[in-house]
């Protein structure tokens, strides 16, 4: 394991060879600049257009990750399976993943209500809506489900914190019976405020709770406010049980040019994290497959293992 000083020098000082253009293939990422220190997974959302349109088979996601991109770990998105979801779907996802030797990391859970809903019945309904995904995650061999920390945005910072902590803690207690963690991504509302998210973790104070820092999700642009992504990542990393390596756009040398991606990876590294960082490409100027490969290659250069 290189020292932090070695990592910074290597990660921030690209040589000419690393900048040279290259052909992108599924199984031939660029050479790493540092010794591997984290694992790479593929977030299913990267291919969301293909899955929504039916151009790719959502039940074959693990095979797509392995055969098209050379990635042997996956993070599912429940939205693609909500319609007609049943244990048979989970069984098929497991069959495909096991057949390809692909590890299932987590399930990202959306459209499950607000864990901090001020209406007790609605809050309980939100907790209950996550239970099928805990079941599925256990069957698939995941370590966690990713949830949203939403409340009533019209209420105060502190009230939303208290309400959300209550629902999240109750879900973590259930997650404990499944041997699964319940982790929160900055995903809009106050969850995209790094200080609020850290305070939420401290208030829940359960061993199963954690964060999934996402490089692109600090601040809520739809609500008209911003938050420094580097600060937010720094504040979230002490609780991280996963990281989302969000990318949007690349320059000609294969560097993400909408943010200082290398600085963000160094923040992750400095925290002592050594788990999965996912490939989550969300750009629209190149096709998703190319964006995934560029993100994968950049992560490999910075110490990612496939």
Pairing, β 219-220 against β 225-226: antiparallel
The answer to whether the CB of 264 falls within 8 A of the CB of 215 is: yes
Residue 11 falls inside a structural domain? no
Domain that holds residue 170: 33-305
pLDDT-derived band at 276 (thresholds 50, 70, 90) equals very high
Look at the block and give the residue holding tokens 């560029």: 294
Percent of the residues in the chain that have a pLDDT greater than 90, as a whole number: 88
Could you tell me the CATH number of the domain that includes residue 72? 3.20.20.150
27 lies in some domain:
no
Give the tens place of pLDDT for each residue, 153-166: 999 999 999 999 99
Question: How many CA within 13 A on the CB side of residue 185?
Answer: 23
Give the per-residue pLDDT at 210.
Answer: 98
Long-range contact pairs involving 124-128 (C-beta distance under 8 Å, separation at least 24): 126/167, 127/167, 127/170, 127/171, 127/174
Does the residue 136 lie in any domain? Answer: yes
Q: Within the chain, how many helices (H) and strands (E) appear?
A: 11, 11
Distance CA 91, CA 135 (A): 11
Q: Is residue 51 part of a domain?
A: yes
Residue showing tokens 């593929």: 42
Q: Are the CB atoms for 10 and 34 separated by under 8 Å? A: yes
Question: Quick check: is 296 in a domain?
Answer: yes
Long-range contacts of 222-226 (CB under 8 A, 24+ apart): 222/188, 223/153, 223/188, 223/189
pLDDT in tens, 165-191: 999 999 999 999 999 999 999 999 999
Rounded CA separation 186/165 (Å): 15
pLDDT band at 27 (very low <50, low <70, confident <90, very high): low
The predicted-structure confidence for 59-117, as pLDDT tens digits, reads as follows: 999 999 999 999 999 999 999 999 999 999 999 999 999 999 999 999 999 999 999 99
Number of domains forming the structure of the chain? 1
Residue 57 within a domain: yes
As a whole number of Å, the CA-based R_g of the chain is 19
CB count within 10 Å of CB 282 equals 19
**Looking at the domain assignment, is residue 215 inside a domain?**
yes
Q: d(Cα 280, Cα 105) in Å, to the nearest integer? A: 14
Residue 50 domain-assigned (yes or no): yes
Average of per-residue pLDDT across 242-252: 98
């Amino acid at each position: 394991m290189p020292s932090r000083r070695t990592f910074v020098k290597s990660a921030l000082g690209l040589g000419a060879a690393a900048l040279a253009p290259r052909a992108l293939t599924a199984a031939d990422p660029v050479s790493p600049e540092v010794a591997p220190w984290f694992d790479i997974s593929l977030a299913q959302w990267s291919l969301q257009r293909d899955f929504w349109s039916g151009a790719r088979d959502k039940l074959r996601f693990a095979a797509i990750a392995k055969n098209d991109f050379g990635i042997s770990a996956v993070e599912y998105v429940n939205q693609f399976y909500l319609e007609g979801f049943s244990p048979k779907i989970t069984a098929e996802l497991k069959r495909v993943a096991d057949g390809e030797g692909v590890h299932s990391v987590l399930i990202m859970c959306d459209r499950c209500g607000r864990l901090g809903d001020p209406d007790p019945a609605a809050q309980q309904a939100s907790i209950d809506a996550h239970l099928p995904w805990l079941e599925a995650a256990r069957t698939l061999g995941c370590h966690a489900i990713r949830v949203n920390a939403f409340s009533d945005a019209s209420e105060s910072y502190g009230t939303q914190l208290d309400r959300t902590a209550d629902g999240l803690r109750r879900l973590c207690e259930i997650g404990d019976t499944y041997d699964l963690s319940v982790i929160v991504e900055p995903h809009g509302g106050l969850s995209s405020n790094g200080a609020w998210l850290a305070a939420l973790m401290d208030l829940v104070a359960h061993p199963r709770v954690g964060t999934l820092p996402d490089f692109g999700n600090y601040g809520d642009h739809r609500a008209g406010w911003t938050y420094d992504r580097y600060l937010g990542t720094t504040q979230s990393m002490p609780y991280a049980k996963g990281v989302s390596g969000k990318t949007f756009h690349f320059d000609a040398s294969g560097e993400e040019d909408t943010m200082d991606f290398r600085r963000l990876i160094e923040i992750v590294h400095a925290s002592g994290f050594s788990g999965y960082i996912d490939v989550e490409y969300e750009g629209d100027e190149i096709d998703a497959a190319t964006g995934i490969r560029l993100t994968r290659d950049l992560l490999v250069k910075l110490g990612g293992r496939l």
